[in-house]
């Protein structure tokens, strides 16, 4: 019996004796030995550290510089630090995804209130809005005609729900029917 196993067996034996438990299942197989073997097996298992796949930060940093309109050469340390933070997000950012959602006329400018005002995204705003904008379905920018139609539909609904309008409309319909029948 090894020294480590003997020490574990003694610790287990002391604990079990304190509870008044017999330390054998059968005459030949002591419970303490089985527990000592299990504990020793758990202690000797070496866990391999999990390695994340290496992410190439250069394309991410270049895309961030492009969408945030920042000079890459003079701000490379800041861009790489932000690319490293962003690389921990899900979904994993790529140059194509960043450009698809934050370039001029894309999701940032259509869905986020700062983009609608015409503001360029900052590095922090890209990181904070990444999961929301990338997971949202891309929308097309609203046209002037669609805004007009939406506003008219709202006005029409409010008008039709108004009791005063309903009374006026009923009276107008009755008058037009009366003149059409010639009374």
- Cα angle 56, 59, 82; round to 5: 80
The pLDDT of residue 57 is 93
Taking the C-alpha atoms of residue 52 and residue 89, their distance in angstroms, rounded to an integer, is: 13
Alpha carbon 28 to chain centroid distance?
58
Mean pLDDT, 10 residues at a time, the chain of 183 residues: 69 61 45 63 65 83 94 94 91 91 89 89 93 72 63 79 84 84 69
Burial class (CB in 10 A: 0-12, 13-18, 19+), 23: middle
Q: Are residues 126 and 176 in the same domain?
A: no
Q: For residue 50, tell me if it sits in a domain.
A: no
The pLDDT of residue 43 is 61
Q: Are residues 91 and 128 in the same domain?
A: yes
Q: For residue 52, tell me if it sits in a domain.
A: no
Whose CA is closest to 132, among 104, 101, 103?
Answer: 101
The model carries a pTM of 0.50
Q: What sign does the dihedral 9-14-15-17 (CA atoms) show?
A: positive
Find the helix packing angle between 163-181 and 144-161, rounded to 10°: 80
Burial class (CB in 10 A: 0-12, 13-18, 19+), 21: exposed
Alpha carbon 58 to chain centroid distance?
23
The pLDDT of residue 32 is 55
The pLDDT of residue 25 is 42
Q: For residue 62, tell me if it sits in a domain.
A: yes
The pLDDT of residue 28 is 40
Q: For residue 91, tell me if it sits in a domain.
A: yes
How many C-beta atoms surround the C-beta of residue 64 within 10 A? 29
Taking CA atoms, 77 is separated from 62, 87, 88, in Å, by 12, 15, 17
Q: Are residues 64 and 90 in the same domain?
A: yes
Q: Are residues 68 and 127 in the same domain?
A: yes
User: Whole domain around residue 171: which residue ranges?
Assistant: 144-181
């Amino acid at each position: 019996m090894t020294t480590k196993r003997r020490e574990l067996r003694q610790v287990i034996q002391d604990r079990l004796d304190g509870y008044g438990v017999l330390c054998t299942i059968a005459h030949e197989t002591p419970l303490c030995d089985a527990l000592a073997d299990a504990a020793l097996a758990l202690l000797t298992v070496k866990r391999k550290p999990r390695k994340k796949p290496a992410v190439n930060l250069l394309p991410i940093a270049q895309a961030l510089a492009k969408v945030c309109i920042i000079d890459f050469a003079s701000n490379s340390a800041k861009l790489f630090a932000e690319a490293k933070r962003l690389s921990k997000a899900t979904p994993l950012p790529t140059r194509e995804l960043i450009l698809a959602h934050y370039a001029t006329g894309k999701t940032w400018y259509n869905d986020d209130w700062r983009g609608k005002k015409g503001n360029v995204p900052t590095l922090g705003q890209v990181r904070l809005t990444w999961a929301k904008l990338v997971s949202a379905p891309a929308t097309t920018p609203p046209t002037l005609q669609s805004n007009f139609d939406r506003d008219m539909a709202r006005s029409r609904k409010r008008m039709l729900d108004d009791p005063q309008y309903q009374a006026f409309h009923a009276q107008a319909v009755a008058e037009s029917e009366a003149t059409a029948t010639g009374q």
